[in-house]
Chains A and B, each alone.
Chain A
């Protein structure tokens, strides 16, 4: 087997793993879009916020310490405790639920019935707000996040592939864990939406707001629930990306990575988010590997978008999106 092909296979596998992480972010978008028709640009910042909150809670940072120090001329920064990862994750999840409730109460309850573009703009405003809020609350420096996930090269795969191809594949343990967790998360979400009462209510709201309202479904509750779920997905994505590359501003940009995934898979489809994520992950890695060196590299920034754009010209609703029917 030629060397190039073996390298390409390694790139392919890595792309698959990256794709899973994209899909994880895209999932949060799909959840909210399906249930409320809001295209939530703030999803990436929510991941950043969740991860920063997790780090802050685990390290026992005093919230808003920079602000308090600046205003009152004090010097406080830590409570002086260290929480175990699990407790931190639970507390951070609870915090995301609180955030979901506030978002619903203070923002989107007042915007019911507005045009989609207005709602979209509101989420961009929310993204700005959360970004400033997160920086004020926990500081803007790059934070290390360690919840005990395994990291580094997987030696077993390295050895196994070395035996077959005479070349060991570099696969990060963290990526494997992320893949497994994402798979579990998707499975749990599907079970939740298909087999529980709340899940059914969620699907009903997604189908038709007014019909759902008329059979006695509490719209407010469903929306808070959906935002909480999206917050939880953001937390998981934040943990994965935060462990991988530190909790920092660039974390919020993964939302931009998830957008082409959504376009490819369709805004309304959970399987679409997964398949789209995999296609984008593999596609951009292979393109960078094959064509990148010829045009100066760094093609990953735009390849996903251009791929999605070309794809959309042929299938405007994405791979699994609901068919767009237009009536006058």
Chain B
């Protein structure tokens, strides 16, 4: 009944190649957009935004970014936390105005609008990502995964020690000053729930559309060829240097944006070791794996799953059963671990695969024969 191609006639090539070729799919996509942009902002309160929507939106961006690298290009990375830190600190420098000391004289750029700060922060992260992606040309598989840990540890250490990066503040933290978009504050202490939500949502939409189209196009096909077998891809004319480095660049660009939003809009103040430690890297990787490697929808699903799970567990265990919080926290670890293992055993291709199966079933429902 749903997702049926029958009766959905296409008369131009353009129609045939659109992002959602099935009519039902397309309408569902518009529906989701309308609900997300026009309906949810009116029903939000602070708790919902801070506990659920904001982490979901920001982690979705990070998961899409990592999915491009791991799921589409097959380069396992454990440096996500470090790249998010680059995004956060770059965003901080741009939004407070970059200062350069040359021969004892300080030259300072004026502060840049927060929207463009976030984009520029993504650009800086892309550059750093390419730098750390260079070894991927020689190192493969697990060796690369471990090598990206070098980025994670080095970058976190760097932002701890490099005083210029946090404007010589005594605490070593970075604090987001108040910044406006169209006169509405989106960072700082006086933000409203709907404004921060919409600000993140705009970025997520841009990132998702970009990612979807990149992976459908020639660059995406090159990434997938490299993922499936790099030597064979090289023989049929895919340049591995270009393919791998563009994957690193695009992936880091998205991850940088998510790091910038995570710091400026969501947390407001960040201490690098705490916010962007190795656990962040694993968390985002879990999202990608549980959601489904090589699927944009999977990135959303994985992010939603891992953002909602702790909230749910906390509500059940602490509020419901009245357990002490530390016990609930241990239990959370245990359950997350068990769920990941269970998921990998039951469906190694993640939530996206479940969704695909469900779609197949829905096509024929209610008359499967």
Contact of B138 among A118, A124, A136, A313 (CB under 8 A): A313
A268 to B336, CA, bound (A): 30
Q: Are B282 and A124 in contact (CB under 8 A)?
A: yes
| Given known A70-B324, A262-B146, A305-B154, contact A132–B337 (CB-CB < 8 A) | yes
For residue A129, CB closer than 8 A to chain B, the reply is: yes
| Given known A117-B76, A124-B282, A301-B153, contact A132–B348 (CB-CB < 8 A) | no
Q: Are B147 and A129 in contact (CB under 8 A)?
A: no
Q: Are A140 and B142 in contact (CB under 8 A)?
A: no
Q: Are B330 and A306 in contact (CB under 8 A)?
A: no
Comparing A12-20, A107-115, A197-205, the segment that makes contact with chain B is: A107-115
| Given known A116-B141, A132-B333, A136-B331, contact A308–B161 (CB-CB < 8 A) | no
| Residue total for A at the interface (Cβ-Cβ under 8 A) | 54
For residue B289, CB closer than 8 A to chain A, the reply is: yes
- In B249-263, the 8 Å CB interface with A consists of none
Q: Are A309 and B147 in contact (CB under 8 A)?
A: yes
Comparing B12-20, B94-102, B109-117, B339-347, the segment that makes contact with chain A is: B339-347
| Given known A309-B147, A316-B139, contact A128–B333 (CB-CB < 8 A) | yes
A316 to B153, CA, bound (A): 21
> A116: shortest Cβ distance to chain B, in Å?
7
List the B side residues contacting A256 at CB < 8 Å: 149, 278
Contact of A111 among B147, B337, B345 (CB under 8 A): B345
Question: Which chain A residue has the least Cβ–Cβ distance from B229?
Answer: A328
List the A side residues contacting B332 at CB < 8 Å: 132
For residue B24, CB closer than 8 A to chain A, the reply is: no
A234 to B319, CA, bound (A): 37
Contact of B326 among A130, A140, A299 (CB under 8 A): A140
> B330: shortest Cβ distance to chain A, in Å?
4
> B63: shortest Cβ distance to chain A, in Å?
14
- In B308-350, the 8 Å CB interface with A consists of 323-324, 326-327, 330-341, 344-345, 348
- In B205-221, the 8 Å CB interface with A consists of none
Q: Are B337 and A125 in contact (CB under 8 A)?
A: yes
Question: Which chain B residue has the least Cβ–Cβ distance from A115?
Answer: B348
| Given known A129-B341, A313-B135, contact A259–B146 (CB-CB < 8 A) | yes
| Given known A67-B327, A299-B157, A313-B135, contact A128–B150 (CB-CB < 8 A) | no
A128 to B338, CA, bound (A): 8
Q: Are B333 and A131 in contact (CB under 8 A)?
A: yes
A326 to B138, CA, bound (A): 13
- In A297-312, the 8 Å CB interface with B consists of 298-299, 301-302, 305-306, 308-309, 312
| Given known A136-B331, A140-B326, contact A305–B147 (CB-CB < 8 A) | yes
Q: What sequence of 0s and 1s flags, for each residue 230-252 of chain B, a beta carbon within 8 Å of any chain A beta carbon? A: 01100100000000000000000
For residue A135, CB closer than 8 A to chain B, the reply is: yes
Contact of A132 among B140, B149, B153, B335 (CB under 8 A): B335
A197 to B150, CA, bound (A): 40
Contact of B330 among A114, A135, A298, A326 (CB under 8 A): A135
Q: Are B143 and A107 in contact (CB under 8 A)?
A: no
For residue A216, CB closer than 8 A to chain B, the reply is: no
> A68: shortest Cβ distance to chain B, in Å?
11
List the B side residues contacting A317 at CB < 8 Å: 143
- In B151-194, the 8 Å CB interface with A consists of 153-154, 156-157, 160-161
List the A side residues contacting B339 at CB < 8 Å: 125
| Given known A305-B150, A308-B147, A312-B143, contact A121–B344 (CB-CB < 8 A) | yes
- In A106-157, the 8 Å CB interface with B consists of 107, 110-111, 114-118, 120-122, 124-133, 135-136, 140
A317 to B231, CA, bound (A): 17
Q: Are A107 and B341 in contact (CB under 8 A)?
A: yes
Contact of B139 among A67, A136, A302, A313 (CB under 8 A): A313
For residue A275, CB closer than 8 A to chain B, the reply is: no
List the A side residues contacting B154 at CB < 8 Å: 302, 305-306
Q: What sequence of 0s and 1s flags, for each residue 61-83 of chain B, a beta carbon within 8 Å of any chain A beta carbon? A: 00000000000000010000000
Question: Which chain A residue has the least Cβ–Cβ distance from B154?
Answer: A302
Question: Which chain A residue has the least Cβ–Cβ distance from B163?
Answer: A296
A260 to B327, CA, bound (A): 33
List the B side residues contacting A263 at CB < 8 Å: 143, 146-147
For residue A169, CB closer than 8 A to chain B, the reply is: no
A309 to B79, CA, bound (A): 13
Question: Which chain B residue has the least Cβ–Cβ distance from A327?
Answer: B231
List the B side residues contacting A125 at CB < 8 Å: 336-341, 344
Question: Which chain A residue has the least Cβ–Cβ distance from B158?
Answer: A302
Contact of A308 among B146, B156, B157, B231 (CB under 8 A): B146
Question: Which chain A residue has the least Cβ–Cβ distance from B290?
Answer: A121
Q: Are B140 and A316 in contact (CB under 8 A)?
A: yes
List the A side residues contacting B232 at CB < 8 Å: 328
Contact of B344 among A122, A295, A313 (CB under 8 A): A122
Question: Which chain B residue has the least Cβ–Cβ distance from A266?
Answer: B143
For residue A267, CB closer than 8 A to chain B, the reply is: yes
Q: Are B278 and A122 in contact (CB under 8 A)?
A: no
Q: Are B142 and A305 in contact (CB under 8 A)?
A: no
Q: Are B153 and A116 in contact (CB under 8 A)?
A: no
> A167: shortest Cβ distance to chain B, in Å?
30
List the A side residues contacting B334 at CB < 8 Å: 128-129, 132-133, 136
Contacts A70-B323, A126-B337, A130-B337 aside, 7 further interface pairs with beta carbons under 8 A come to: A107-B345, A117-B76, A118-B289, A132-B331, A132-B335, A260-B146, A313-B138
A residues adjacent to B (C-beta < 8 A):
39, 66-67, 70-71, 107, 110-111, 114-118, 120-122, 124-133, 135-136, 140, 256, 259-260, 262-263, 267, 295-296, 298-299, 301-302, 305-306, 308-309, 312-313, 316-318, 324, 326-328
20 contacts between A and B (CB under 8 A): A118-B344, A120-B142, A120-B145, A122-B344, A122-B345, A125-B337, A129-B334, A132-B335, A136-B327, A136-B330, A136-B331, A136-B334, A140-B330, A260-B150, A267-B143, A296-B161, A305-B150, A316-B138, A316-B139, A316-B143
